[in-house]
Chains A and B, each alone.
Chain A
């Protein structure tokens, strides 16, 4: 299965909402760009029903080059973490990958 891309999202908006292809493409582009822009301004982004993109400042920590074993400090940095919301987690929790079914004796069918 191939991954969902911006082109797929734009195509879906075009089909479901009747936006023309150009408009749909621009909107999808701007949607992700504005989320990035907010994060870049130090703003946490909270999309209800989906999840929160949260910023964290990490202090410097010791690391090492796995190839040479040489110790080098990892510089302090700011990172983005994603905390999925209830609605998304609930949708995903009961997904069973076809190969998992055998090891996972149907305990997920609880409807």
Chain B
């Protein structure tokens, strides 16, 4: 599932919010999450999971192409820990369905993959 599909599903569920506002909301929600992590904050969504930062200390590395040694700088990377409900539901679904990856996503109701893909890119 990609963002535009999520927006469609939410639009169909929320009859009283316009598609435009749903789309804005989804993008705003993702921005709130990025912003919080960007200033080192933590996010806790009950039943879904939590996001926090992990510290990566500087380490000695080398460029495999040139063999040059470099010291990478310390950084933080985002980390997600799935919550109990998400973990249990995903694990329970193992028996019923295969993992589907819709990288080659095309709209189901028409053959116009070009138009449907360009819509996805905009969103």
Contacts and interface: CB of A to CB of B under 8 A. Distances in A.
B8 to A, nearest CB: 10
A3 B44 contact: yes
A93 interface: yes
Contacts of A107: 58, 73-74
B47 A80 contact: no
A61 to B, nearest CB: 15
B93 A42 contact: yes
B45 interface: yes
Contacts of B33: 4, 50
Interface in A3-39: 3-6, 8-9, 12-13, 16-17, 19, 23-24, 26-28, 30-32, 34-36, 38-39
B74 A39 contact: no
Contacts of B35: 91
Interface residues of A, number: 63
Interface residues of B, number: 68
A92 B28 contact: no
Nearest to A16: B28
Interface of A: 1, 3-6, 8-9, 12-13, 16-17, 19, 23-24, 26-28, 30-32, 34-36, 38-51, 53, 55-57, 76-82, 84, 87-89, 91-95, 97, 100, 103-104, 107-108
30 contacts: A3-B42, A5-B43, A5-B44, A6-B46, A17-B24, A19-B25, A24-B25, A27-B25, A30-B13, A31-B6, A31-B29, A32-B45, A34-B6, A34-B10, A35-B1, A38-B6, A39-B93, A45-B6, A46-B3, A48-B123, A76-B94, A78-B94, A80-B87, A80-B90, A84-B77, A88-B78, A91-B38, A92-B76, A100-B74, A108-B74
Return the 5 tightest CB-CB contacts between A and B, nearest first.
Answer: A82-B80, A42-B97, A91-B38, A78-B94, A3-B44
Interface of B: 1-3, 6, 9-10, 13-14, 16-17, 21-22, 24-30, 32-51, 53, 55, 58, 73-80, 82, 85-87, 89-94, 96-102, 123
